[in-house]
Amino acid sequence: MYAGNAVTSSTSAARWKDSPHNGDTERLAVASAPVDYEEQIMTTRRLAFSVSSIALAVLMSTTAGAQSDRGSGALRTPDGHPDLSGVWDFRTVTPLERPDELADKEFLSEEEVAAYAAERVLANNADLNREEKKEQTTARGQVNGTRESTDLALAYNNFWWDRGTVVVETRRTSLVIDPPNGRVPALTDAGSGRSAERLQINQRPTEGPEDRPLGERCITGFNSGPPMLPAAYNMNVQIFQTADHVVLLNEMVHNARIIPLNGSDHGTVPLWTGVSRGHWEGETLVVETKNFLRETSFRNSSKNLHLIERIQRQDEDTLVYTFTVTDPTTWTQPWTVELPMRRSDLPMFEYACHEGNYGMDGTLTGARAIEKSGE
C-alpha cells in the first residue's frame, strides 16, 4: 500500500516526488485510548523546536572553524577531530548482496563497471523495454526494483525514483564485504520463525485502521536507519558536529539521531532508533547502538541487535560509512557493509510525506462500501 499523493523531498534530484511505501513494513496494532490531542500537539511542537535548536547550535559552532580548515586542506573541526559535516549522498546501483551470477567475483573490472551500471539502470526503469518486462522477470525476480507480484512493479519510472546510477568507487559487486562471499548470513531458527510470522502478518487482510502498516502513514522509512542503506529515494544524510555530540539527520522520515560522545552508557530503555553512543578512534567516528524497538527493527532483527557504525573522511568529497550487525538470535554470524557517501552541494529539503496522504481515507472508504454491500 502507498499514499496516493504523499510527497517526500529529494535533495539529489532537487524536486518533490511521490512517495510510494514499502508494503512489507510491519503492521503495528495501536491500542484505542482517549488522547489529549492539544497536549500531544504542544508536546510535538516543543520536541521539534528542541531538536531544531540543537541542530542549529551544532551547525553554528562548527561552520566557521570547519570552513577555514577546508580552505587549508586540514578538514578538521575547531576541536581537532575530522570534519564530517555536510550533506552526504549514498545512492548507488551496487546491490547489498552479491548477485548469483557474480558469485566468485568480488570486484568488477574497469571495463565491466559501465556495462553493469547501464544494465541496472535499465532494469530499474519501467518505461524502458516495458513490454518485455511484462513477459519476464529480471535475473533478480524484480521489475523496476519491485517484486512483480505487487501493483507497483510497472507503476513508477525513473522520473519518480531517485535511485543510484553508478557502482561504488571500489567496484565491489556487493555492499556486504564480510562474509567474503558478499552475502547476508543465513538466518537462525529463531530468525526464520520471525520472518515467516512477519510474512504471514503482511499477507493477511488488515482488521482496522489501527492495523495498517506504519510506513503507510510515513512513520517509518526504508533507508533512514540505523543502519543506513540505499533504496529508492531520499538517500541523503546531514551530519552536524560539536566537541561532545554528533547529529545524523536522515532525509527519510526526517530522522535525527543525537549521539553523545561523552562516554555515557546506553541504559536499558529501548528507543525508536535504539540508543546510540559515539567515540573517536583516531580518524574514525565509531557509533555503537543498542536497545532497539521491535517496530523499527532492522531486517526483522531482535532486541539483541548490536550495531557498530564507523564513519571516516576519505577525502574532501567522500565519506566511507561501514557498519557491522551482530544479532545471534537472528543471523548465524555477524556481517559488515561498506558504503561510500559523496558530498552534495544541495541543501536537504523538508521531508513532507503524510501531508496530503489520502491513502488511508481511500482504504477506509472502500472497506465501508464493501460492508454496506454485504459482501
Go through 195-227 and write b for each residue having 16 or more CB atoms within 10 A of its CB, e for each that does not. eeebeeeeeeebeeeeebbbbbbbbbbbbbbbb
d(CA 348, CA 53): 17
Instruction: Give Dmax (Cα) for the chain.
Output: 74
DSSP string for residues in 40-96 = HHHHHHHHHHHHHHHHHHHHHHHHHHHHHHHHHT--B-TTSSB---EEEE---S--S
d(CA 76, CA 74): 5
pLDDT mean by block of 10 residues, the chain; 375 residues: 41 39 36 42 48 50 42 74 97 96 94 93 74 55 54 68 92 98 97 90 77 82 90 94 96 93 95 96 98 89 96 97 98 98 94 79 85 80
d(CA 248, CA 66): 17
The answer to whether residues 246 and 276 touch, using CB atoms and an 8 Å cutoff, is: no
Q: What are phi and psi of 276, to 5 degrees?
A: -105, 135
Q: What is the pLDDT of residue 73?
A: 47
Domains of the chain: residue spans and CATH: 7-94+177-373 (2.40.128.20), 109-166 (no CATH)
Q: What is the pLDDT of residue 338?
A: 99
Q: What is the pLDDT of residue 366?
A: 86
The answer to whether residues 236 and 251 touch, using CB atoms and an 8 Å cutoff, is: yes
Q: What is the pLDDT of residue 365?
A: 86
Within 10 angstroms of residue 137's Cβ, the number of other Cβ atoms is: 13
d(CA 70, CA 299): 38
